[in-house]
Every structure is written in C-alpha cells, then in structure tokens.
Amino acid sequence: MKTIIGSICIDGEREKSNQYFKRSKILIDSVLKHTNFSILMLTDKPHKFNYNNERVFIRDFNELYPDEPKEVYGTFNFNLKRYPIKLCSELNFDYIFYNDCDCFYSGWHNESYLKMLEEDFDVYYATFYPHHTVRVQIDNPKDHPNTGRRVNSVKEAVTEEMLDAVLGVETRMLYKNNDKLKVMLDKWDEISRLCEKAEECTHPESTFFCMAGQHAKMKATGVSRQIEIANYCNMIHGVASEKEQQGVDKPLKILNYFGLVIDRKDTEDEIISMLGI
C-alpha cells in the first residue's frame, strides 16, 4: 500500500512574510526523513526546488495550468488544492495524503497509520462532526452569514444531497485513490469554474470539496484524537515578522494534526534545526 503526499506552493503577496517556499521545503525534507512516502509539490517556481530523489515529484503550475487564476475575489484561489490531488491520482499510489505546504512531520508512527488504513473510508478529515453540515450552516445565517450566498453562487452544480456534506478541515485530507475520487475531482472542477465566473471567494474551501465528496458518495470519517501520529503531523501558523513588527514572542505556532498548539518558535530556521533537516 503506497502513499503519496500532494501539496501546492504558489507565489503571492504574502510570500515573503509567510515563507511558503521555505516551509514547502521543510515539508518535503521532513517527509523524506520521517516517512517512506513519496511527495508531489505543485508550484509556480519549480526552479526553487532542486531534488534528485525518486520519491519527490515537482510539477510546474504555470506549464500545466497557464489559464488558471491564482486569485479569485482578491484572495488565493483555494480551489487550486484539487490539482495536486488530481496529479497524484494519476500516479501509481493507493493513498493520496493532501497536505498544505506549511505542514511538516516531526516523526512518524507507521503502525497507527496502517491501522487507519484498515478502516472503511474514502476520505479522512482531521476533524469530523456529523452535525456540522453545509445545510446546518445555511439554516443558521446568523452564525454563518456567507455560506448560503456562496452555495447559491454555484447552484448550477449543487444537488439537494450535497447540502448534507459534513464539513472537514482542509489542511490535511487522506484519500483512497479510487473511482469516487475521480468523481469528486470532476465535481470540484465544475464548482471551481462557477466560482471564477461569479468571482466568489473560495475560502474556506472545505464547503466546496466536501460537497464534491458528498456528490461522489465518498464515505468520510475523522481521525481519532488518540491516534499516535497526531503530534507528528504538524503545521506552522503565524509569521516570524510579528516578533520584530509587533513584539510577539515566538510568533510561529507549531500545531498538531487537530490544530492545537504544541510548541512555538521564532523562525522557520529554528524548526529546521529542531528537525535536523
């Protein structure tokens, strides 16, 4: 059973402050050190990634998707996250583990991961609350004022069943590479085109890809809070410049699989040193 991690790193206004390219390299290097997974990085700056390793696949965004907008409604086009998943699905891997480019691995526990794979699922979300659906958000506009408008903007692609989609966290999703995944990606493509046409904000994108998964009849589940890999599946939040500009001590928050803060650092270089990569 082979797993590949898929991620995307796109240039933007926050490149300097968020250090996305440096964080992407932290992700790649930590995957190579701590797991036996392969990794595919889709980027508009492939020349910044110099890897001579059969487990690393670097794909050129501008070459593959020259007409795809990087921003929609003035913000990053979060629907682009479907592309590394799609590219991974075309390779010879059984499981596709999407990770945002500011994720990384501080270790691994393969036995608990293999136990996860034994479960009956099509997609694992980091959090999964059956009562947290698109329909519930639409019915509670006071708490979720934008959901109804956003869903209505892509109504041509939406069925009644899709409103029962349970909303998961989008930073890490583990998919089985099966026929349902292709159906999900096709629906996500359709939704993305309608977002562009309507100039609809794509954040938070979980609304759209979870609806696409519901359309594909994917069996979704959540990662157990007790799983051993939780503290090894990390993510960086915050920017180092907050220390100099705002006096924030250790502004980089290290999160676990579920978004809980487990450590803090001043810079990405401290994380690199901590990981020994």
pLDDT of residue 245: 54
| Residue 113 pLDDT | 97
Looking at residue 208, its pLDDT comes to 94
Q: What would the 3-class secondary structure string for 200-224 be? A: CCCCCCHHHHHHHHHHCCCCEEECC
pLDDT at 93: 98
Q: What is the C-alpha to C-alpha distance for residues 78 and 96, in angstroms, rounded to an integer?
A: 18
Instruction: Characterise 183 by phi-psi region: left (phi > 0), alpha (psi -120 to 50), beta (else).
Output: alpha
How many other C-beta atoms lie within 10 A of the C-beta of residue 243?
Answer: 16
Burial of 146 (0-12, 13-18, 19+ CB in 10 A): middle
The DSSP H or E segment spanning 8 is: strand 3-9
CA–CA dist 25, 56 (Å, integer): 11
Cα dist from 229 to 12, 35, 96, 106, 223, whole Å? 31, 11, 17, 10, 10
Show the tokens assigned to 121.
């699922």
At 126 the pLDDT is: 86
Residue 238: what pLDDT? 87
Which CATH number covers residue 100? 3.90.550
Residues 6+ positions from 126 with CB-CB distance below 8 Å = 168, 169, 171, 172, 173, 222, 223, 257, 258, 259
Q: Which pLDDT value is given to residue 257?
A: 93
Q: Give the side-chain half-sphere CA count within 13 A for 116.
A: 29
The confidence score (pLDDT) of residue 74 equals 81
Give the pLDDT of residue 249. 75
Nearest to 99 by CA among 238, 270, 216, 233: 233
166 lies in which domain range?
A: 3-275
Q: What are the CA-CA distances from residue 13 to residues 20, 28, 38, 76, 97 (Å)? A: 11, 23, 29, 10, 27
- The whole-number pLDDT of residue 72 equals 86
Q: Are 196 and 69 in contact (CB under 8 A)?
A: yes
SS3 of residue 27 by DSSP: helix
pTM greater than the 0.85 cutoff:
yes
Peptide bond into 204 cis (omega under 30): yes
pLDDT at position 60: 97
User: How many other C-beta atoms are found inside a 10 Å radius of the C-beta of residue 130?
Assistant: 9
Given a cut of 70, the residues of the chain with pLDDT beneath it are 12-18, 204-205, 240-248
What domain count does the chain have?
A: 1
